[in-house]
């Protein structure tokens, strides 16, 4: 089996560069280096970690345009979308710097319960050790900084394993981390072969795994990890809900931006759109008009809104689900057109409730539209999925918001916004097959730490 791999531009299918997977012997050396680096992290005060992260944010800002172009070349993400990603990455780095100085514990009085013991418990947070941070292709810098930033802020060492498609951008990110002041013994980059991943995850020098990606890979990680701490941010089949009192124009904008941007390759994309019957026709007409105006094609063009998906296999999967829905009786309202890895924005109605497009996560620019009447009907439809990441609802009714907040099996409900809402300091994560634990900088720091108690 070859140890080489190519990175291919998803739009042109041109080979950008060829690389070699990190050999197992090198991975073991890296883990040994990081183990030695843990003593360095113990001696590095929080204010110094903050200063390094602030400097890294400055460097990311200085190199934002170059990194954005690299992201576009590697992933097919539009240049406008890649620039937004870089803004988010800078924000995540700044938030990590700020939170590194806010890590606090608590003091507990032992006399709260009899018998009186006359002691005080001082509870502190301490780093886990070495964190294996595994990132996906779709947000190569932003998701990386949502892992590297809080891991470093908490005082951990990091083995960074990016998606192979993102090798060049990952290399540049790590170089900037070093320039900002992160020692090599604290951060290492590795892209081992898939056959070595189970051994890496199970390695005794890996103390925890922070992974963003699919459920199949997460299940393999869980099997290999044993009792290690896991932070898993997985997929979503996120609904966008439009009630009859919702803002139609704003809901259409959310559907467009949160489903067709990044060619639909987001875990929080609006993958199902449910519209109350009274406003269904109006919403459908507005959505079709807006979607038909989107510029599709070359992601390097400033005007392009929808570029290619990551590769031909991904395009095949999305197309097959569209075809299955049509075979099951769905009607194509827009799209169902493919050019290479570019899938044009596609809108369907009449998709069977048990079709893959409705119950599985589909990473592509396709919207199944579904009318509903009552909230009870809606909740049953939304919860008919193994996933439970985020949801968005457009309504002015506080009672409706509260009801859906309690009834929907999701980690977050965004009101008068789509399920794609995320900001760096909010907790982020789901239920069911959407993951374990919470990201969001402050919350990720705690996930990558443990509590230690001193009794006085």
Active site (catalytic) residues: 233
The answer to whether the CB of 329 falls within 8 A of the CB of 352 is yes
The answer to whether the CB of 433 falls within 8 A of the CB of 267 is no
DSSP three-state, residue 214:
coil
Element (H, E) at 8: strand 4-8
The span from the CA of 362 to the CA of 380, in Å, is 20
């Amino acid at each position: 089996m070859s140890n080489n791999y190519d990175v291919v531009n998803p739009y042109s299918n041109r080979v950008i560069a060829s690389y070699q997977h990190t050999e197992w012997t090198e991975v073991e050396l890296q883990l040994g280096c990081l183990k030695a680096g843990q003593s360095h992290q113990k001696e590095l005060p929080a204010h110094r970690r903050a200063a390094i992260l602030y400097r890294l944010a400055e460097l990311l800002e200085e190199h934002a345009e170059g990194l954005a172009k690299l992201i576009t070349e590697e992933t097919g993400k539009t240049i406008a979308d890649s620039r937004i990603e870089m803004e988010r990455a800078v924000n995540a780095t700044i938030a990590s710097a700020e939170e590194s100085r806010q890590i606090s514990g608590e003091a507990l009085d032992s006399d709260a319960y009899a018998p009186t013991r006359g002691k005080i418990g001082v509870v502190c947070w301490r780093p886990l050790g070495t964190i294996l941070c595994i990132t996906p292709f779709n947000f190569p810098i932003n998701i990386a900084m949502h892992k590297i930033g809080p891991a470093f802020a908490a005082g951990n060492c990091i083995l960074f394993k990016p998606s192979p498609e993102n090798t060049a951008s990952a290399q540049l990110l790590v170089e900037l981390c070093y320039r900002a002041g992160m020692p090599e013994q604290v951060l290492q980059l590795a892209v081992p072969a898939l056959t070595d991943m189970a051994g890496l995850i199970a390695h005794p020098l890996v103390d925890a795994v922070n992974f963003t990606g699919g459920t199949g890979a997460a299940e393999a990680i869980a099997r290999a990890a044993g009792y290690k701490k896991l932070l898993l941010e997985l997929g979503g089949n996120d609904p966008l809900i439009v009630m009859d009192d919702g803002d139609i124009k704003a809901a259409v904008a959310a559907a467009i931006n949160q489903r067709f941007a990044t060619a639909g390759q987001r875990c929080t994309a609006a993958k199902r759109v449910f519209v109350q019957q009274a406003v269904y026709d109006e919403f459908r007409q507005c959505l079709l008009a807006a979607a038909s105006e989107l510029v599709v094609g070359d992601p390097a063009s400033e005007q392009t809104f929808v570029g290619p998906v990551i590769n031909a296999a991904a395009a095949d999967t999305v197309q097959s689900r569209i075809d299955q829905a049509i075979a099951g009786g769905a009607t194509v309202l827009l799209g169902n057109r493919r050019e290479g890895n570019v899938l044009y924005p596609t809108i369907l109605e009449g998709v069977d409730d048990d079709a893959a497009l409705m119950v599985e996560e589909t990473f592509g620019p396709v919207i199944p539209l579904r009318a509903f009447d009552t909230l009870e009907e809606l909740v049953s439809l939304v919860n008919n999925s193994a996933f439970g990441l985020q949801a968005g609802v457009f309504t002015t009714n506080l009672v409706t918001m509260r009801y859906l907040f309690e009834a929907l099996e999701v980690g977050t409900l965004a009101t008068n916004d789509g399920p794609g809402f995320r900001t760096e300091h909010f907790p982020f994560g789901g239920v069911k097959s959407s993951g374990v634990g919470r990201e969001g900088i402050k919350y990720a720091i705690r996930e990558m730490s443990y509590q230690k108690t001193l009794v006085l």
